[in-house]
């Protein structure tokens, strides 16, 4: 039941109660649960009087959930893919889920597309992924996922979850994290798409310096500029000059950069 979708069912009562507690839900909130499985977390959410929209892709588990919560008047069951669901139809909402680990990153990015409609996400994830999401610059866990999520959210590691709390037990350690959506990004960027590309390119060769890892992106931007109508300019014409103009040493490596420094690079490149 549900195994073909990578489900590990969280059964530990104390941990389930703690998840509900750290989620910070209020009676007026709409709670979205992705991959409710057999309904252990769902039952606790409903017992606290919260309105729950449960999205389950497995038809057999949907049958179990429909029967188990047939009398719950604050329960809506959706059979479908959470990556394709129309979250905009819900208004503002919070997510509380033990999501299948194989869709962790795609589902987080999908939810972040909803902007301020989503207030927070309290998620049980693979511990390694949780460390990457919440990592600060300067450490080995800091990377693309850290920057992308922290551009939109305040990310916090809540607590670890032992393997024995699941049935069947996963082969990896787990943790609960909370992502609280920010009303606006903590840094200003001229072009978001370019900012994200700078981050991806910087970490694509994380052992290399920024001068090396961003060289192909710089050439692409520079070539695009030269095809447009020429004009007099005093803007920097080399990647090294652009990085220096942003106050960034070209010999630095991406894991040392803060969110604000990535924004400075992207904004400096935006003039091309």
Fold exhibited by the domain 3-181: Rossmann fold (3.40.50)
pLDDT mean over 193-205:
95
Predicted confidence at residue 3, as pLDDT, reads 46
pLDDT digits (tens, 9 = 90+) for 40-89: 999 999 999 999 999 999 999 999 999 999 999 999 999 999 999 999 99
In the chain, how many H helices and how many E strands? 11, 9
Q: Is the pLDDT of residue 176 over 50?
A: yes
Report the alpha-carbon distance of residue 32 to residue 227 in Å, rounded: 48
- Give the tens place of pLDDT for each residue, 78-124: 999 999 999 999 999 999 999 888 899 999 999 999 998 999 999 99
Q: Residues 198-211: what's their mean pLDDT?
A: 93
Residue 229 above 70 pLDDT? Answer: no
Q: How confident is the model at residue 7 (pLDDT cuts 50, 70, 90)?
A: confident
Beta carbons of 209 and 253 less than 8 angstroms apart: yes
Q: What is the pLDDT, as a whole number, of residue 232?
A: 52
Higher model confidence: residue 272 or residue 111? 111
1: confidence class by pLDDT, cuts 50, 70, 90: very low
User: Rounded to whole angstroms, what are the CA distances from 45 to 34, 72, 85?
Assistant: 13, 11, 21
- The residue ranges of every structural domain in the chain are 3-181, 192-269
Average pLDDT value for residue range 125-131: 96
Average pLDDT for 217-241: 72
Give me the CATH code for the 192-269 domain, please: 1.10.8.100
The predicted pLDDT at position 226 comes to: 62
The residue-averaged pLDDT of 2-7 equals 56
pLDDT of 235 > 60? The answer is no
Is residue 228 scored above 60 in pLDDT? Answer: no
Looking at every residue in the chain, the average pLDDT score rounds to 92
Which tokens in the block code for residue 70?
A: 């047939």
Please report the pLDDT score of residue 5 as a whole number.
Answer: 57
> Is residue 2 pLDDT above 50, yes or no?
no
What is the predicted pLDDT for the residue at 47?
96
Question: Which SS3 state, helix, strand or coil, does residue 169 take?
Answer: coil
> pLDDT value at position 230?
54
Q: Is residue 204 classed exposed, middle or buried when 0-12, 13-18 and 19+ CB atoms within 10 A define those classes? A: middle
Confidence (pLDDT) at 222: 81
Which residue is listed with tokens 């979250």? 87
pTM above 0.85, yes or no: yes
CB 39 within 8 A of CB 97: no
């Amino acid at each position: 039941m549900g195994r073909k979708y990578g489900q590990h069912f969280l059964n530990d009562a104390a941990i389930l109660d703690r998840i509900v507690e750290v989620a910070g839900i209020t009676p007026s909130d709409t709670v979205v649960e992705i991959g409710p499985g057999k309904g252990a977390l769902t039952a606790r959410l409903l017992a606290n009087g919260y309105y729950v929209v449960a999205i389950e892709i497995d038809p057999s588990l949907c049958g179990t959930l429909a029967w188990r919560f047939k009398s719950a008047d604050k329960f809506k069951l959706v059979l479908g893919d959470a990556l394709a669901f129309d979250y905009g139809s819900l208004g503002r909402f919070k997510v509380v889920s033990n999501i299948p680990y194989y869709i962790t990153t795609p589902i987080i990015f999908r939810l972040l597309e909803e902007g301020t409609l989503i207030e927070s996400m309290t998620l049980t994830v693979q511990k390694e992924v949780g460390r990457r999401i919440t990592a600060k610059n300067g450490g080995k866990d800091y990377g693309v996922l850290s920057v992308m999520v922290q551009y939109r959210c305040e990310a916090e590691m809540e607590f670890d979850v032992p393997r024995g709390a699941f049935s069947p037990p996963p082969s990896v350690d787990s943790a609960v994290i909370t992502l609280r959506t920010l009303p606006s990004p903590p840094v200003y960027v001229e072009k978001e798409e370019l900012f994200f590309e700078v981050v991806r390119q910087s970490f694509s060769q994380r052992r290399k310096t920024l001068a090396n890892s961003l060289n192909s992106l710089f050439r692409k931007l520079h070539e695009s500029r030269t095809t447009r109508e020429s004009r007099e300019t005093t803007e920097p014409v080399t990647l090294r000059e652009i990085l220096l103009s942003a106050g960034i040493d070209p010999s630095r490596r991406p894991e040392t950069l803060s969110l604000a420094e990535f924004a400075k690079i992207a904004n400096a490149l935006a003039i091309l």
